A = this chain, B = another copy of it.
Amino acid sequence: MKRVSFEDGIIYSFRPDLEPVTTARSGETVEFVCQDACGGLIRSEKDTLESLDLDRVNGATGPVRVMGSRPGDALRVLIRGIRVAATGFQSIAPKVGVLGDEVSRPSTKIIPIRDGKAVFSKSIRLPIHPHVGTIGVAPNEGSWTTFYPGDHGGNLDTKEIAKGNAVYLPVFQPGAQLAMGDIHALMADGEVCVTGIEIAGTIRAQIDVVRGVHIERPVVETMDAWIAVASAPTLDEAARLATHDGVALLARGARLPWDEAYMLASIACDLRISQDVDPWRTAKLVIPKSLMRRLPLR
């Protein structure tokens, strides 16, 4: 199996002119070996977010040029598995996170992973559910640090990007230039304190070029839903954009007039929060597959 490690290539921004470190064919499965979101710099409870350069977080392994992909296509990235390290961490700091104003001093918690559970404390052990926090492609324009989410993907912090699920990303540049990292062993919707359980690990991902799927922003596929994922400077704007995208998909996919799709979304499609802490926020509209079997073609 093809393998690409952060030692081969790691990026801290998604830019139109990304240079690939390797190449994959459509249909190929690639292993991405990833550092944790803080590049391994947080090793004990003495290390905190305040000592880090926020332009150097969420380093993403890659980029991988995907042969034959061109602007107007979509990339379907199926997460076949995520292996995580034996230890992760959470960190908080003043001014970051939903309650940044209430945090008096930076602190870090080291969280061992044992028998598939995160050992938060002696009495609190939570089953892990690893997902990929940062995954994206070369954008249409602009330079986006890997701390930002956007139309190109990036720091989506969407917990459904997990084993067995797929993310569709729009292709903006020839070869797409896929990179990923920022694994979380566990995270809840909102990621309210600014970290999930940040952890190093290896992602096995099957990459397919899909022609004729016109999407402007990421869409996640789970066993039972299509999820329109949108990011914007505020949660209010991200929620509006996710709703806009999701209702448009539902209208096309379920062959409903737009007005009907809008009403149907209001009773059958949950509007949710992926994360409320990154520089831009990410919201998602969850469309049950019972309403829409396939992702609609252009």
A90 pairs with B273, CB closer than 8 A: no
Q: Kindly supply a per-residue 1/0 record for chain A positions 85-113, scoring 1 wherever the CB is within 8 Å of any chain B CB and 0 otherwise.
A: 00000101000011100110001010000
Which residues of B have CB within 8 Å of A276? 236, 239, 243, 271
Given A187-B266, A239-B276, A262-B92: A271 and B197 within 8 A (CB)?
Answer: no
Query: How far does the Cβ of A287 sit from chain B's closest Cβ, in whole Å?
Result: 10
Given A118-B267, A192-B262, A192-B266: A240 and B272 within 8 A (CB)?
Answer: no
B90 pairs with A263, CB closer than 8 A: yes
Q: Kindly supply a per-residue 1/0 record for chain A positions 253-275, scoring 1 wherever the CB is within 8 Å of any chain B CB and 0 otherwise.
A: 01000111011111111111100
A21 within 8 Å of B (CB atoms): no
CA distance A120 to B276 in the complex (A): 33
A243 pairs with B190, CB closer than 8 A: yes
Oligomeric state, in copies: 2
CA distance A244 to B102 in the complex (A): 9
Query: How far does the Cβ of A43 sit from chain B's closest Cβ, in whole Å?
Result: 18
Which residues 226-255 in A have Cβ within 8 Å of B in the complex?
234-236, 239-240, 243-244, 247, 254
B267 pairs with A98, CB closer than 8 A: no
Query: How far does the Cβ of A218 sit from chain B's closest Cβ, in whole Å?
Result: 19
CA distance A239 to B97 in the complex (A): 12
A1 within 8 Å of B (CB atoms): no
A interface, how many residues as a size bin?
Answer: 35 or more
B271 pairs with A196, CB closer than 8 A: no
CA distance A193 to B188 in the complex (A): 26
Q: Kindly supply a per-residue 1/0 record for chain A positions 263-298, scoring 1 wherever the CB is within 8 Å of any chain B CB and 0 otherwise.
A: 111111111110010000101010000010000000
Which residues of B have CB within 8 Å of A188? 265-271
Which residues 198-246 in A have Cβ within 8 Å of B in the complex?
234-236, 239-240, 243-244
Given A193-B262, A247-B192, A264-B124: A240 and B291 within 8 A (CB)?
Answer: no
Closest 5 CB pairs of A and B: A190-B271, A193-B266, A189-B270, A98-B243, A90-B263
The 24 listed contacts between A and B (C-beta, < 8 Å) are: A92-B262, A92-B263, A97-B262, A98-B239, A99-B240, A102-B258, A103-B259, A109-B260, A124-B264, A124-B291, A186-B268, A188-B270, A190-B239, A190-B272, A192-B265, A192-B271, A193-B263, A195-B263, A235-B236, A235-B239, A239-B276, A270-B273, A271-B273, A273-B283
